[in-house]
């Protein structure tokens, strides 16, 4: 790919939010041929960062994948075997807790008896109504959702119908395996912090997210296939260029979703390096490519970093 446009400009930003980091909320928002050897032995979105005796294995995750993305490249298996413990964006088990479920219910819905019609323009609401009818949703089924969560429901629902699932996502796959193997795990942030990213969108940003989502539904499957292909090929240069280009008009969102979180996570990763152990760190791919990436931040910490 190497920077080539793999899906239309109008549809990129909404799905890039999924690429970037928001693995916690995904379960709640509602084909190339190659030999087995070449598929397993390919380069991937994996880096090693070393300083002294410490080693971080940084694995870029897509939070939704299809079963055809399995098995992951051999480099991922080797990284898991080398790791003494695994680090994730958040504690995935806590997402099913009653406390988190209650929190989701509080932030997903419009307040004070308002409906989504009160939150967006007549144009956006009209396009949403048309799209819901095309997709076979019953009238009013999304009326009380806030725009950004309506967008998430539409996107995740469509991808699930096409065979994509968080159960095949890189983070969930590694997390479940670590738990089964008794390998220690750490979290970089709480689920509530991830949910707050969407809760904190301005009304304008939330409506634009919904509008772009509605406009993308007809090409969502082919677009997400292309995104997964880029991830499967380990095309970090192309992914980084896409992210930088598409978020150039939205510096605040990029700063909140990516840069500031990377800055909060960096001291934790720096401490892990100082301890002299080997950790597998699984975060959204968008945190490892493009401007202000964890990869670049670790290089600035005098780490030896290379893609594997």
Question: What confidence category does residue 40 fall into, taking pLDDT thresholds of 50, 70 and 90?
Answer: low
pLDDT of 212 higher than 90: no
For residue 276, count CB atoms less than 10 angstroms from its CB and return exposed for 0-12, middle for 13-18, buried for 19 or more. Answer: exposed
Question: What confidence category does residue 14 fall into, taking pLDDT thresholds of 50, 70 and 90?
Answer: low
- Residues 74-106 as b/e (b if ≥16 CB within 10 A, e otherwise) read ebbeebbeebeebbbbbbbeebeeeebeebbee
CA gap 28, 15 in Å, rounded: 16
The answer to whether the CB of 306 falls within 8 A of the CB of 47 is yes
Query: What's the CA dihedral at 241, 66, 269, 176 to 10 degrees?
Result: 180
Q: Which helix (H) or strand (E) segment is 151 a member of?
A: helix 147-161
Could you tell me the pTM of the whole model?
0.88
The predicted structure's pLDDT at residue 216: 83
The predicted structure's pLDDT at residue 308: 85
* Closest to 91 measured CA to CA, from 19, 197, 196, 184: 184
CA gap 23, 128 in Å, rounded: 25
pLDDT tens digit string along 113-138? 999 999 999 999 999 999 999 989 98
The predicted structure's pLDDT at residue 17: 61
CA gap 219, 123 in Å, rounded: 21
Q: CB-based contacts of 55: which residues, under 8 Å, 6+ apart?
A: 48, 49, 82, 273, 277, 278, 279
CA gap 178, 186 in Å, rounded: 11
Query: What's the CA dihedral at 283, 305, 245, 17 to 10 degrees?
Result: 0
The predicted structure's pLDDT at residue 173: 93
Tokens of 274: 């100082």
pLDDT of 9 higher than 80: no
CA gap 170, 86 in Å, rounded: 13
Percentage helix, strand, coil for the chain under 3-state DSSP, each rounded to 5:
60, 10, 30
Least confident segment among 111-115, 197-201, 235-239, 277-281 = 235-239
Alpha-carbon distances of 201 from 107, 160, 174, 207, rounded to whole Å: 12, 25, 30, 9
């Amino acid at each position: 790919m190497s920077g080539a446009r793999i899906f239309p400009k109008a549809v990129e930003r909404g799905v890039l939010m999924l690429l970037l980091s928001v693995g916690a909320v995904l379960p709640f928002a509602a084909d190339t041929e190659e030999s087995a050897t070449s598929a397993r032995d390919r380069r991937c979105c994996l880096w090693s960062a070393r300083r002294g005796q410490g080693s971080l294995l940084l694995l870029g995750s897509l939070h939704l994948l299809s079963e055809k993305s399995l098995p992951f490249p051999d480099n991922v298996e080797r990284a898991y075997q080398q790791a003494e413990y695994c680090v994730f964006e958040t504690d995935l088990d806590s997402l099913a807790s009653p406390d988190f479920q209650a929190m989701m219910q509080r932030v997903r819905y419009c307040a004070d008896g308002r409906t989504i019609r009160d939150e967006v323009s007549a144009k956006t609401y009209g396009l949403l109504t048309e799209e819901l009818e095309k997709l076979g949703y019953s009238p009013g089924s999304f009326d009380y959702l806030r725009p950004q969560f309506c967008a998430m429901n539409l996107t995740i629902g469509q991808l699930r119908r096409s065979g994509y699932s968080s159960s095949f996502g890189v983070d969930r796959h590694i997390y479940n395996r670590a738990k089964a193997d008794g390998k220690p795990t750490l979290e970089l942030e709480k689920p509530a912090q991830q949910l707050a990213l969407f809760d904190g969108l301005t009304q304008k940003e939330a409506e634009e997210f919904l509008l772009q989502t509605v406009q993308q539904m007809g090409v969502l499957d082919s677009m997400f296939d292309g995104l997964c292909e880029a991830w499967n090929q380990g095309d970090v240069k192309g992914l980084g260029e896409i992210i930088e280009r598409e978020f150039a008009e939205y510096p605040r969102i990029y700063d909140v979703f990516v840069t500031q979180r990377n800055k909060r996570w960096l001291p934790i990763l720096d401490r892990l390096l100082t301890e002299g152990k080997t950790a597998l760190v699984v975060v959204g791919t968008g945190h490892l490519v493009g401007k202000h990436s964890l990869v670049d931040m670790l290089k600035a910490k005098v780490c030896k970093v290379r893609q594997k």
